[in-house]
């Protein structure tokens, strides 16, 4: 799937306009949202569910999330009647740890590949459009993020990867959250600015880099958001 708009036109669209442009391109578009239930994801979900109430919400069930994340996921899934899809790795936490120990300590990149990247790439196969809550401001690794990119799966299939909040600031995220009275993960109130698996998430080491508390500073990305082609 591709759009008739060029990158400059796409960049000038606000969230509503961008979503309408993508979803109106095809009446039979198969879309999903990846959601870790962080604030940005909830905002994108709030926009999307008004258009696609039963859009599949893909949650990467690594087995290592905070208890607060699971509680928030389940509460919001119930309150919003979400079409929640828990994307599972091939092996359980117990099986992986029995075979390879605490991989998140010894080789966090391999752990992310097994428990996040590979399962998601497989789960994305049925879809034409993949919505995310990514923002450029989140990390230096995301500074060149485009609102629409072509993402090619390992199988060779291409789909549109759409990040409606790409140009939003952290202040805008919280202004929208508060203004629309959206629920949010209580971990933010404890000082976390980027929330993933519990063993690999700490308070940010650098106030200017929201993701500096991830993976003990050893890396900034799990590997999911490093393969997309720039531009639509």
- What pairs with residue 31 in β-bridges? 129
**Distances from the Cα of 130 to the Cα of 24, 45, 48, 62, 101, angstroms:** 15, 12, 12, 20, 33
Q: What is the CA radius of gyration of the chain?
A: 17
Biggest alpha carbon–alpha carbon distance for the chain:
51
Task: Tell me if residue 222 is catalytic.
Answer: yes
Catalytic residue among 32, 35, 112, 222: 222
Q: In this structure, are residues 42 and 186 in contact, taking their beta carbons and an 8 Å threshold? A: no
State the Cα–Cα distance between residues 90 and 93, nearest whole angstrom: 10
Residues identified as active-site: 222
């Amino acid at each position: 799937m591709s759009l008739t708009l060029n990158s400059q036109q796409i960049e000038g669209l606000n969230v509503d306009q961008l979503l309408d442009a993508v979803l109106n391109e095809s009446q039979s578009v198969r879309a999903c949202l990846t959601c870790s239930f962080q604030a940005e994801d909830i905002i994108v979900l709030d926009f999307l569910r008004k258009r696609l109430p039963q859009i599949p919400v893909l949650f990467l069930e690594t087995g290592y999330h905070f208890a607060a994340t699971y509680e928030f996921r389940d509460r919001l899934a119930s309150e919003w009647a979400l079409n929640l899809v828990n994307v599972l790795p091939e092996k359980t936490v117990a099986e992986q740890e029995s075979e390879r120990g605490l991989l998140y300590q010894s080789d966090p990149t391999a752990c992310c590949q097994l428990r996040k990247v590979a399962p998601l790439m497989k789960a994305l196969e049925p879809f034409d459009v993949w919505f995310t809550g990514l923002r450029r401001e989140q990390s230096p690794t995301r500074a060149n993020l485009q609102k629409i990119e072509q993402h090619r799966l390992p199988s060779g299939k291409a789909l549109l990867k759409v990040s409606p909040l790409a140009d939003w600031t952290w202040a805008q995220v919280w202004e929208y959250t508060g203004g629309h009275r959206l629920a949010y993960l209580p971990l933010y109130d404890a000082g976390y600015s980027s929330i993933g698996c519990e063993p690999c998430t700490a308070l940010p080491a650098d106030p200017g880099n929201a993701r500096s508390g991830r993976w003990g500073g050893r890396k900034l990305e799990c590997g999911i958001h490093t393969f997309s082609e720039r531009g639509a």
